[in-house]
A and B are shown apart, each in its own frame.
Chain A
Amino acid sequence: MRCKVRVLLPLYITMVVALTAPASAGEATSPEERGLAIAREADRLSSGYGDSTANLRMVLRNREGLTSERELRIRTLEVEGEGTRSLCIFDTPADVKGTILLTHTHKQADDDQWLFLPATRRIRRIAAQNKSGSFMGSEFSYEDIAVQELEKYTYRWLADEPYDGNDCYVIERVPVDRVNSGYCRQVAWLDKEHYRTWKVDYYDRKNELLKTLTFKGYEKHLDRFWRARQMEMVNHQTGKSTFLTWSNLSFRTGLKEIDFDRHSLTLLR
């Protein structure tokens, strides 16, 4: 698979560039074309890493300031033309240790998702195409943590404005599957230099500001891919927040499609 990715990669990039060229970020005419061009460029720049592994620490804070923690290991694999495979393996809290969430995201079709429960060795399909539910009791929903496939939103450029010292594009994205999303729209700030996301405002179905996600500590990997070490999601309506810290990030570790097969869930720890 790794070889396949390498072989296909130049082709893929050429293809994306060809598609992007007629409406590149600067020259596009309508706000919609411009928004799509910006999102496409951001997607192009963050694609092609092959696979990655990382450790994730989540700190959940409630309105009273009480915190609880979760630790997980995340593995992802890009599958050319299809989407992304990902594994979330829970290490703490101890009572959910060994629980694994497997997701196959698809560019067009519904995502496939399975949960492995180690106590009974059961693999249960998750039949909630509605991804607005909370992930592990955090302020992140399933749709927030899922890999953001370009095709799952429509885009609109709103403004150019500075954010935290960076010149940014402000774009709006509207979920294509409106029925199953918890949001009517999202507004994102991406810097003009590297197309890194710095802030996202999430608006609920009543178009009221629900949550804000901010990114900190961007680092460059493989000389090309920018990843934020820290993310914070604040829920304005409940006063709760969730803080994410990424560590031990590695790329091109040799993961294969078979490692993200439903059957291999029973072999992982």
Chain B
Amino acid sequence: MHSRTWMAALVMGMSAWTVGGAGELSGWIAVEGRGFLNEPLYRGQDRDNASIAAQPEYYHTWENGSSFTFVPFGRADTADSRRTHADIRELNYLYRQDNWFIRMGVGKVFWGATEFVHLVDIINQTDLIEHIDGEDKLGQPMLEFSISPSWGTLDFFLMPYFRERTFPGRGGRLRTSRVVDLDDTIYESSSEERNIDIAARYSRTVGGLDFGVYVFRGTSRDPLLATPDLVPPELIDPEDVNDYKLIPFYEQINQFGADVQYASGNWLWKLEAYFRNGYFQDYFAATGGFEYTFVGVAGSNADMGLLCEYAYNDRDDGGQTIFQNDLFLGMRMTPNDAASTHLLVGFAQDTEKSENAFSIEASRRFGANWRLILDAWFFLDSAGDSVLHELRDDDFARLELAYYF
């Protein structure tokens, strides 16, 4: 984010503080250490890293139901200069009436149902450098209008500015052998990041079923990472490329997506799918599966969820899509204790090549304000031509201690 944007954010935040109504400040500050099992594979990488991050949140609400939210975020990292970064996660004004609202500013929206692959979520760009799970998102400048007549909810989005995906720098782990060059990003749109993206979504709940369908038109959030020989020649400036980097190419897409959750008894069924019409090809992707919950395992207070999902993607991109034909198995343990302990174990297996990965995510609270989070990822086996293969020596464990206020 530019310093000008930051200043504007600060001024807006300060002014909201002073004009009456009720405001509150909350948020978290955390220290994190990541330890890697193996020596780094690529030149310039540090073996391990430590970092500190904070995400305060200021929320102000007025009598008429409108509200202002400001959520800045920042991290300082010892190994990767790119991971030392800041972002405005949210900075928006919400005006709400009975069955409609308008939200203006930087916002965050999630669409989707499945646990392992977040396929249809498209409004916000992934802050990939934060965590490889892709669940951290960059703030998206937008104007949102939402109306809920009796027959469902309609949301309309106008997104005037595009956020590029973050990628690890030379010093960071969990990267491809070639560093992604963020200075020479190529856009299909001549307006580049100022292309105006639009989206419309209809969602509804009917009994145990929640579903949403949407159309998105604009800049794809998933870049194609191109070596010079893959970039369309008419889009390339020969001076910008060399053999040692990857160039992100953001195409213009039309995407039709759907997400469904259906609950029945202790079963939860989930499905996400989209059809994308892009620069090189049109393709289809889907992911879906179920979660079955056992309540009160072995007479205890604990719940156990068993997850099974499958991801399919027919994009032909030379192995850049990690999950093209993969089966996911997972187990969620919730002891329902006073410390809100949570454990999620996941295993991914490619059904076409001998490629698999394993992850553990666990957390619990200490006292009233502290939370300890442990997660570990193991890239067990990988085939020679994929992104996962480039991460083969990046098995890691991450420990985070966060203070919430």
Contacts and interface: CB of A to CB of B under 8 A. Distances in A.
Interface of A: 60, 62, 68-69, 92-97, 109-110, 112, 114, 120-134, 136-137, 180, 182, 256, 258, 261-264, 266-267, 269
A112 B301 contact: no
A127 B265 contact: yes
Given A93-B404, A128-B303, A120 B296 contact: no
A97 B404 contact: yes
A131 B336 CA distance: 13
A263 B263 contact: no
10 contacts: A93-B365, A94-B368, A95-B402, A112-B205, A121-B108, A128-B293, A133-B301, A133-B336, A137-B340, A182-B296
B243 interface: no
B291 interface: yes
A125 B295 contact: no
A126 B61 contact: no
Given A112-B207, A261-B148, A92 B266 contact: no
A267 B94 contact: yes
A262 B291 contact: no
Q: 6 closest Cβ contacts across the A-B interface?
A: A94-B404, A127-B268, A130-B295, A134-B336, A121-B110, A137-B338
Contacts of B67: 269
A132 B261 contact: no
A258 to B, nearest CB: 5
Given A112-B263, A182-B296, A258-B99, A125 B268 contact: yes
Given A127-B291, A258-B98, A109 B207 contact: yes
A15 B336 CA distance: 41
Contacts of B210: 114, 123, 125, 262
A214 B272 CA distance: 46
Interface string B45-68: 000000000000001010000010
A179 B261 CA distance: 24
Nearest to A66: B338
Contacts of A112: 205, 207-208, 263
Contacts of B368: 68-69, 92-94
B338 A95 contact: no
B283 interface: no
A71 to B, nearest CB: 11
B281 interface: no
Contacts of B38: none
B96 interface: yes
B146 interface: yes
B277 interface: no
Contacts of A97: 26, 404
A95 B208 CA distance: 29
Interface in B340-354: 340
Given A125-B261, A128-B293, A96 B101 contact: no
Nearest to A179: B265
A174 to B, nearest CB: 19
A112 B268 CA distance: 12
Nearest to A69: B368
Contacts of A126: 263
Interface-central residue, B94, B110, B264, by most chain A CB under 10 Å = B110
A263 B369 contact: no
A148 to B, nearest CB: 19
B405 interface: yes
Contacts of B59: 269
Contacts of B265: 110, 127, 129
A58 to B, nearest CB: 10
Contacts of B96: 267
Contacts of A130: 266, 293, 295-296
A111 to B, nearest CB: 10
Nearest to B370: A95
Interface string B173-210: 00000000000000000000000000000010101101
B317 interface: no
Interface in B359-388: 365, 368-369, 371
